[in-house]
Chains A and B, each alone.
Chain A
Amino acid sequence: MDKKRLLRITAAFFACMLCFTVISRAADQMSVAAVVTARPENKMITHDIAVAGKVTQNQELAVTTEPDQRVKSIYVSEGDRVKKGDLLFEIDLTLLEEKILAQQQEMEKQQLTVGDAKSQKEVSAQQKASQQAQAAEQYALSTHSAGVQLSRAREALDEAKKELKRFRKKHQNESAGQDSSVEASLEQACEEKAQAYIQAQQELAQVQWKIENAVHTALQQAVNNASRMGGYAPPALEDTDPVPDAPVLLEEPDEVRTGSSDGAGELDAPEELLIEDFAGDRELSENGAWDDVQAPVGHSGTESYTQEEGPGAAPDWAPAENEPGAGDITIEGAEIVGGGEATDAETDGSVGGNGSTGIGGNIGGNGSTGTGGSIGGNGSTGTGGSIGGNGSTGTGGSIGGNGSTGTDGSIGENGDTDADGADDIIIEGMDGGGADAPSQEELDRIEQSVRDSYASELLAAQQKVETALAQKQEAEKALAQYQQERLEAGNAQNAQSEKQLIANVKAAQQAYEDAAIAANEAAVTSGRAVQQAGIPDASNSSDRMNEITYEQMELQLSKLEKLKQEEGRITAPCDGLITKIQVITGEKTTDTTAMLLTDLSKGYRFKGELTKEQEEYIAVGDSVTLRGSSKKQVLEELPVESVTEDESQEDIYQITVQIPMESDVFELGAGATLEFSKKSEAYPVCVPLSALRLDEKNQTYVLVTEQYDSVLGTEIRARRVDVTVLEKNESYAALAQGGLTSQQEVIISSNKAVDEGSRVRVQE
């Protein structure tokens, strides 16, 4: 090969290489990003906050007037400054006067309504009272008359028996041979059966009474429970005894007294009754063993009146109350009242209500402990022919009123203690409260369940009555037959007259039985009537409601009149600025605000909105500067009054700053800027905010320059350093120490995108 050519080629090759060296270097430099770096600084992060806002009033007052008035004229317009007492607007007086007149008329009407309602209520109260009085009267009368009838029937029976005995004595001689013992025993059996029948009837009535009482109690309890649960506390019906109301009982003694004034004879009658029933018991009473009140005691009474014991026995018996034994009875009776009907079944011959411990023919109401012919009301403890009202304790023919304790023929009024006190026997009266009644179905259900529970008892009582009746009839039949036979055997005339006498006795006997049953029924039915009359009426508060309406109208009228007195002029309540007028001349006023007035005496405040970031640095009490639009409008060192979260916007906070009263820098409604600067503590590592970068995982990092050895010599590239931002403001961020040192150069800007590992050129 030619040497020259070879040399040229070699030269060309080296020239090429040289050329490309330059080109590639130039190209390489173009791709390198020029960056500006800075070293981390030790500095404080200051937060400068500027908030635009407005100067507003501290307090706004609403001027209102009566609604539905015509506005005659308005003297101010929005933005006017007014002084206290300045006329704001006027109301048309003619319309106002009409209104007043109409209001007065309305009030008159209302007053009449109130009167009507009141009288209506009084009338119904009176009606109720008289109803109760009537029921009580009826009770007293019917039980009294039943007692009288019973005693008369007894008298008649005795008379008839005496007649028969006399007749028989007369003819004893004639028919001495005849065996009268058979007849006597037959008669006795007959008598016994009759007594048993009466007793059964009484028991039946008692059972019925008991059921009614139980039903009543259960219902009352249900009502009580319901009302207690409903938070309403009516007078509690602690005592389940359905005692008639106090007013009734107040009047009762009068009735009884009138009855008793007819003559002592009537009073005596029960006494007789009692004596006859208990004639066989004298020994018992004398022994003072009254505690042992037992069924057989009553039974022995049958025998007693066949032995013809006279009424004279009464004084014999009556003193019993003076004996210590009588006291025992009283106490026991009281206990029995509390204990319910426990001793009911054991006593004999008594027509008793609840808890009565009657011995022999007493007609008792609730809880009465009667002994011998006492007609007792609620809780009375009568001994020997006493007619007692509520809670009376009568002994020996006393007629007691409420809570009276009578001894020996005394007529007690309410609360009287005529003899030895036994006040505790007084049964507490009670009012049927107007409780919220449980539903009717529930009540029905309760009633039914109570009735069911007593069903068997009732049935037994009914059967007993039936069997007693059948036995009685049988005995009577046997006696009749025997007498028939005997009479047929004896002489005809005597037989005829004896037959007549026997028939008389029989008739009297039946009449007596009927009277006993009737007396029982009378006591039960009229007792029930009293009870029903005692149930209070539904509450009626319409009168009070009417009164309230009236009072309201009165208030309204007074307002209107006051407006009239002021000649319909509405004045400013304080110095201020009219911010809003909501009334229009000629239109009617509404019940809302007529005008809004800014109270200038209460000063102004600055109001502005903060963002969430700004809110973090500013707190109540921080000193801020307020700046207005002109340079002169500056107020410094004002404390922040409040910072509150806006309810309607998320992440927006309301800030208020009170403007001092004496300052007149800002006008109401003027715009102003709040300035605040907060310095943090000094942070050793602070970098400009532009140095912070965020990767796709939201990790904050900065890029620092790093020298490295390359083929092209020592070069600079970017290296990533993860950092944690402690605090930052608009320009600087404070970083946690550790990742970055103050010796490192942090890239804060570059002329093209720089990433980790990018080669960079540091610009000075």
Chain B
Amino acid sequence: MTGAKKGRSVMQGSGKSKRKSSRKRKIQRKERGSGSAGRLLVYTLLFLLAAVIFFPIVFAVGGAFMQQWELKEYLGSVLGGAQGMASWSLVPKAPTLQPLVEVLIDSPQFFVMFWNSMRISVFILIGQIVFGVPAAWGLARFSFPGKRLLLMLYIVLMLMPFQVLMLPEYLVLDDLCLLDTHWAVILPAVFSTFPVFIMYRFFCGIPEAVLEAARIDGAGNLQIFLRIGIPLGAAGIVSASILGFLESWNMIEQPMTFLKTKALWPLSLYLPEIGLEEAGAGFAAALLMLIPALLLFLSGQEYLEQGITAAAVKE
């Protein structure tokens, strides 16, 4: 369930962005003045798609306000071994705040995990920015021997799934005595190739003429990077950061593999501990998990859209 949920929440994030972008496109088409009949059909289709994608969120929010007996009635056949088919109601029969209170007041474990997740994600984010931005700038703006090979390696590594890297990573971390610490999760993610690749594309999009002008004005390489490269590539950096945060926030295999001490576990491992008896608390916890990602997305929405647009136009 938890895996599915996670997948849903990930999808939900991307769904939202799609919705937003489709709205933008609608506006663009309006401006162009296309046929109204075809437009209605497209709207209906998109709305249906959006509803399907939005449903898990409604599901989670509704469940967070349901009482235990109601959850049992709906999910008993799936989780509790009862007969019949699982069902769902969008609106709780007897809305209650009990699951929420249970999570917030009676579960110190939740908060331990919440702050663990927060710490891991923030450190990863900072690490990616500190190491990823210069790397991307260097790959995009300098030419040196073996650059193409290096890029190729980056792409290949980016495509590698975690399952392939798990064992080598484990052995390395073990040798470095980093197992069962947060660094075991943080360090591999800091040197992830995905944000470098994203930012590389953005830095490549900065016109050479702007850099020439700066050089003429007597700016050195560092000045050009700090004063021109970062501001102009900000959209790419924010995009990479948001995607990086979401990834590290939802990270589940790495902590499960590398962290043995329960006190170090992130929030993504909280839900697997939940059974039918605490299903309400599970929904409430899912709701709370959603909030940071949503806030981050809202704050970075502008840059994210910009960056995507820029990349689409320039390339």
Contact = CB atoms under 8 A, between A and B. Distances in A.
Interface stretch (A5-13, A142-150, A547-555, A642-650): A5-13
Interface of B is mostly: helix
Interface stretch (B4-12, B212-220, B292-300): B292-300
Given A710-B262, A710-B263, A712-B263, A20 B111 contact: yes
A711 B265 contact: yes
B115 interface: yes
B114 A709 contact: no
B108 interface: yes
Contact of A24 (B108, B262, B270, B288): B108
Contact of B106 (A27, A712, A714): A27
A21 interface: yes
A28 interface: yes
B312 interface: no
B299 A710 contact: no
Interface in B113-155: 113-115
A679 interface: no
A17 B111 contact: yes
Contacts of B288: 17
A24 B107 contact: yes
Contacts of B265: 711
A21 B106 contact: no
A631 B129 CA distance: 88
A9 B295 contact: yes
Interface in A624-674: none
A489 interface: no
Interface string B295-314: 10011010000000000000
Greatest chain B CB density within 10 A among A6, A21, A711 is at A711
A20 B105 contact: yes
B109 interface: yes
Contacts of A23: 104-105
Nearest to A11: B295
Nearest to A713: B263
B110 A24 contact: yes
A24 B111 contact: yes
A17 B117 CA distance: 13
A329 B194 CA distance: 157
A84 interface: no
Contacts of B301: 1
**Interface residue range, chain B:** 20 to 34
Given A711-B113, A711-B263, A24 B106 contact: yes
Interface in A1-37: 1, 3, 6-7, 9-10, 13, 17, 20-21, 23-25, 27-28
B262 to A, nearest CB: 5
A710 B111 contact: no
B299 A711 contact: no
A28 B112 CA distance: 13
A505 B185 CA distance: 169
A21 B111 contact: yes
B104 A7 contact: no
Interface in B253-303: 261-263, 265, 270, 288, 291-292, 295, 298-299, 301
A710 B109 contact: yes
Contact of A1 (B112, B262, B298): B298
Nearest to B109: A711
A237 to B, nearest CB: 101
Contacts of B263: 709-714
Contact of A21 (B115, B270, B298): B115
A23 B263 CA distance: 18
B295 A712 contact: no
Nearest to B116: A711
A1 B299 CA distance: 8
Contacts of B109: 710-712
Contacts of A1: 298, 301
A712 B108 contact: yes
A529 B108 CA distance: 128
A10 B107 CA distance: 22
Contacts of A21: 108, 111-112, 114-115
A711 B299 CA distance: 31
A229 to B, nearest CB: 86
Contact of B299 (A3, A24, A25, A714): A3
A6 B108 contact: no
B298 A24 contact: no
A24 B104 contact: yes
Contacts of B107: 24
A1 B107 CA distance: 33
A711 B262 contact: yes
Contact of B112 (A7, A9, A10, A712): A712
Interface in A212-265: none
A9 B299 CA distance: 11
A28 B102 CA distance: 12
Nearest to B110: A24
Interface string B227-239: 0000000000000
A27 B107 CA distance: 9
B304 to A, nearest CB: 13
B16 to A, nearest CB: 13
A593 B107 CA distance: 85
Interface string A393-413: 000000000000000000000
A24 B101 CA distance: 10
A253 B114 CA distance: 145
Contacts of B110: 24
B295 A6 contact: yes
Contacts of A25: 108, 111
Nearest to B269: A711
A309 B195 CA distance: 181
B253 to A, nearest CB: 19
A27 B262 CA distance: 20
A1 B298 CA distance: 8
Nearest to A709: B262
A255 B291 CA distance: 155
Contacts of A712: 108-109, 112, 263
Given A17-B111, A24-B111, A713-B263, A6 B298 contact: yes
Nearest to B291: A13
Nearest to B115: A21
A457 B108 CA distance: 125
A17 B114 contact: yes
Interface string B8-33: 00000000000000000000000000
Contacts of A7: 299
Contacts of A6: 295, 298-299
A20 B104 CA distance: 6
A532 to B, nearest CB: 111
A25 B262 CA distance: 16
Nearest to A10: B295
A7 B298 CA distance: 10
A712 B261 CA distance: 10
Greatest chain A CB density within 10 A among B111, B113, B265 is at B111
A709 B261 contact: yes
Contacts of A20: 104-105, 111
A348 B115 CA distance: 147
A387 to B, nearest CB: 128
A20 B291 CA distance: 15
Nearest to A31: B106
A23 B108 CA distance: 8
A10 B301 CA distance: 15
22 contacts: A1-B298, A1-B301, A3-B299, A10-B295, A13-B291, A13-B292, A20-B104, A20-B105, A23-B105, A24-B106, A24-B110, A24-B111, A27-B105, A27-B106, A28-B108, A709-B261, A709-B263, A710-B262, A710-B263, A711-B113, A711-B265, A712-B263
Interface of B: 104-115, 261-263, 265, 270, 288, 291-292, 295, 298-299, 301
- What 5 pairs between A and B have smallest CB-CB spacing? A21-B111, A711-B109, A24-B108, A20-B104, A713-B263
Given A710-B109, A711-B263, A712-B112, 5 more contacts: A10-B299, A23-B105, A24-B105, A24-B107, A712-B263
